[in-house]
Structure 1
Amino acid sequence: MGPFTNLRRVSILVILAAASSGVASAADYEIAIEKMKFGAAPAELKVGDVIVWRNDDIFRHTATARDKSFDVDLPPKAEVRMTISKAGMVDYYCRFHPAMVGKLDVRQ
């Protein structure tokens, strides 16, 4: 073993400790649309997380925020990725089918 072996071990331990220090990373969540309804929104959303909106219906839908913070167009059998950019409660609906509604609760 050379003189730098212990230094490498310490460096690796520091890197591993930093990686597991509890710093939250962004997560991907899916909200599926099926039978003219939005699936349940995830309970633990945070700014920076990604929602994958997936339209399993044969009809075009949108996921449109009432506060105009997002407007996702979803052709039939398509999916769209959206990064959450702000915290708060956001009500959303489908512009084509206004009875389709949901709510996101995004934390910092």
Structure 2
Amino acid sequence: MKRFRAKWAPVRVKKTRQNKNRESGFDFIKAGKALALAALCLAFAGTARAETITVTIGKATFGPAAVSAHVGDVIVWDNKDIVAHTATARDKAWDVMIPAGKTARIAMKKAGTIEYYCRFHPNMVGKLTVVP
């Protein structure tokens, strides 16, 4: 019986434009992914994380009465009293109802100084300074 013996010859690839790019080591897909990742990192590098600022209501007062926040921060009113209160902006921009023993929250959307009060107890006042 005669043995079959294959002779292997190297395959020559015709150099085309695509092959030349691959041989040079430059990969457009990897470069695109790297560029997208860099853009994503830059987008999140400048954004700050929103904070939660708590204002406690007790004995018919807002505490602290003056609060500083940034745009995007969340203000939480924690009502420790046995009666309901509101946090109503004097400029009517927002009105938050806070039931007895509960909390309510609002996100600050624009910069400025906002004075607020309780509609049920007008002597309860507070001031919120929102910076960009």
TM-score (norm 2): 0.64
Between structures 1 and 2, the one with greater helix share? 2
Find 1:31's aligned residue among 55, 61, 71: 55
Following the alignment from structure 1 to structure 2, what is the Cα–Cα distance between the partners of residues 20 and 64?
33
Find 2:113's aligned residue among 89, 94, 99: 89
Between structures 1 and 2, the one with greater strand share? 1
The residue type equivalent to 1:62 in the other structure is T
Q: How does 1:58-97 map to 2 (within 5 A)?
A: 58-97=82-121
Is 1:42 matched up with 2:39?
Answer: no
Following the alignment from structure 2 to structure 1, what is the Cα–Cα distance between the partners of residues 131 and 119?
26
Max Rg structure: 2
Q: Which residue of 2 aligns with 1:4?
A: none
**What is the percentage of aligned positions where both structures have the same residue?**
50
What is the deviation of 1:24?
Answer: 1.3
What is the deviation of 1:20?
Answer: 8.3
Higher relative contact order (CA 8 A, sep 6+): 1
Q: Which residue of 1 aligns with 2:77?
A: 53
Unaligned runs of 5+ in 2: 1-29
Runs (4+) of structure 1 exceeding 4 A deviation are 17-20
Unaligned runs of 5+ in 1: 1-6
Following the alignment from structure 1 to structure 2, what is the Cα–Cα distance between the partners of residues 21 and 90?
29
Please tell me whether the aligned partners of residues 86 and 96 of structure 2 are also in contact (alpha carbons under 8 angstroms): yes
Following the alignment from structure 2 to structure 1, what is the Cα–Cα distance between the partners of residues 63 and 126?
8
Q: CA RMSD in A?
A: 2.2
